[in-house]
Amino acid sequence: MASASWTDREFPNTICLFDVDGTLTPARGVITESMKTTLEELRKKCVVGFVGGSDFVKQQEQLGENAADMFDFCFSENGLTAYRQGKRLAEDSFLQFMGEERYTKLVNFCLRYIADLELPKKRGTFIEFRQGMVNISPIGRACSREERNEYEEFDLKHNIRRDFVEALKREFPDYGLKYSIGGQISFDVFPIGWDKTYCLKHLQGEGFNTIHFFGDKTFEGGNDYEIYEHDEVTGHAVKNPLETEAILKTLFTF
């Protein structure tokens, strides 16, 4: 039975969850007016939420400062930080899971590895500490949009991030960590089970019998893969926000 919170929807037992980068917005870009209108119409049909690896502040930069009002559920850092109808839910901590000693060893290894990488360019913020993970970027998150695009091409050709992940797996086989390549310039490191499927725990008891997920990194190793393949989820692979809109309008007839 659907929660009383959703009885105003045509399909109160259905929720649509969305990745952010490449699904609702261009990579690190902002949401379009067209997508905002589509989401407004969708909320008349079903419950709507997003789930991404970034923290909530970065998600607001892309989706708007009123993101918590635009979506019924907001899942930052894969749901480690979560909002339901604008109210914050309980959260977990990556550092608490790791402990200072093991976390320091992980960071030191990454910094040495990045120092030895031969890349056309390097900028700053190579490791970004977050509530539920660390995000690692060989070029550095401080790069410009043009540099971001250049690096993505270089990475696809030379497999920089893929090889980095393999090196971490060899170095820390007993740390219980998962590595997920997403976006253009970085990859996430988090405890096994703390991928995007983590957000599903917040949906328990809501009465949903249909969970749709839309994402652009649904391939194995991509940061949408686990939730896309989850038994309780109907997955939709998209190439860009325009395709997301097209599928929604067909699926829900609006």
C-alpha 198/C-alpha 136 separation (Å) is: 20
Task: Supply φ then ψ for residue 179, to 5 degrees.
Answer: -125, 130
Q: Residue 206 corresponds to which tokens in the numbers above?
A: 């809501």
Q: Is 208 exposed, middle or buried (0-12, 13-18, 19+ CB in 10 A)?
A: buried
Spatial strand order of the sheet with 177-182 comes to 127-129, 134-136, 186-191, 177-182
Write down the catalytic residue from 8, 21, 188, 195: 21
Write down the catalytic residue from 8, 19, 116, 163: 19
Q: Alpha-carbon Rg of the chain, whole angstroms?
A: 18
| Residue type for position 150 | E
Asked about 92 being catalytic, the answer comes back as no
Asked about 224 being catalytic, the answer comes back as no
Q: Residue 161 corresponds to which tokens in the numbers above?
A: 């991030």
Just list the catalytic residues: 19, 21
